[in-house]
Amino acid sequence: MADRVNLEAALHDLGQSLDVPPPPDVTASVCARLNHAPARHRPGLLLRAAIAAVAVITAAGVVVAASPTVRAGLTDLLNLGGVQVRQSPGPPPQPSPQLPGTRSVTLDEARSLAGFPVRVPATLGPPDAVRVSDGSPPRIVSLIYRPGAGRPEPATDRVAARLDQFAGPPAPVFEKFAAEEDVRHLVIDGQPALWVRGPHPVVYVDRTGQWRTESARLAANTLIWQADDVTLRLEGHFTKTEALAVAQTTR
């Protein structure tokens, strides 16, 4: 929690030091257009609309990347909502990585089992598979997307995108390992977020705080953000702009 407070304070100080004109109030109109998009629209068309919206929002300063100076001062504050990013080598990837206790369920079952709201990105369409992991109630809900319209090229095992969700605790849930230049600090809906450029090692941290090395694998580009008390980890061969567009339509 202290890390998050310090991060928010640093970003706030950065904002106070910038001399820029006030941005137009585009957030409400953009979100309204996304929320009222007809259900018959294909995911690919919706993703393109969301990307255009993110470009407008970014230009207006709603989604902001910290400057290199501030980023250098925040290198030790890479713990966001249960995702810890370390600037050190990670464990070797495993041939068949798996989170503990993983089982397949329907989306409705996941929502019933999880102790937190499970969100779905409209730009990607319905998930092709839903998995819950680590205990009952499950600690992690994972939405799996195969290749298709509005989705990136598959990263591994024909998985185009993966969205992990969990109630963001102060203790780490995932450990990532990436160089400083591969990490960007962002703000999404007024909350700190991280963009981690892949490939980079990731390992699951269980409820006792132990690394589950059998889960170690190489992750693709990843966007990490929070919605209320839930942490979301979107992974796939997205560009940063595409990932931000997906985040904007995740409800």
- Per-residue pLDDT of 106-123, as tens digits, reads 999 999 999 999 999 999
Q: At what angle do helices 43-60 and 240-248 cross, to 10 degrees?
A: 100
Residue 199 burial by Cβ neighbours in a 10 Å radius (0-12, 13-18, 19+) = middle
Question: What is the pLDDT confidence band of residue 47, given thresholds at 50, 70 and 90?
Answer: low
Specify the higher pLDDT residue, 46 or 175: 175
% of the chain exceeding 90 in pLDDT: 64
Supply 204's token pair: 């699951």
Residue 148 burial by Cβ neighbours in a 10 Å radius (0-12, 13-18, 19+) = middle
> In the predicted model, what is the mean pLDDT of the chain?
80
Question: What is the pLDDT confidence band of residue 28, given thresholds at 50, 70 and 90?
Answer: very low
Evaluate if residue 246 carries a pLDDT over 90.
yes
Question: What pLDDT was estimated at residue 49?
Answer: 52
Q: Which residues pair with 19 in a beta bridge?
A: none
Question: What pLDDT was estimated at residue 46?
Answer: 59
pTM of the model: 0.72
Q: Where along the chain do its domains lie?
A: 2-248
Question: What pLDDT was estimated at residue 45?
Answer: 58
Give pLDDT tens digits for 57-76: 444 333 434 444 344 333 44
CA–centroid distance for 165 within its chain:
9
Within the chain, residue ranges assigned H as helices are: 2-17, 27-35, 43-60, 68-73, 107-113, 240-248
Specify the higher pLDDT residue, 245 or 67: 245
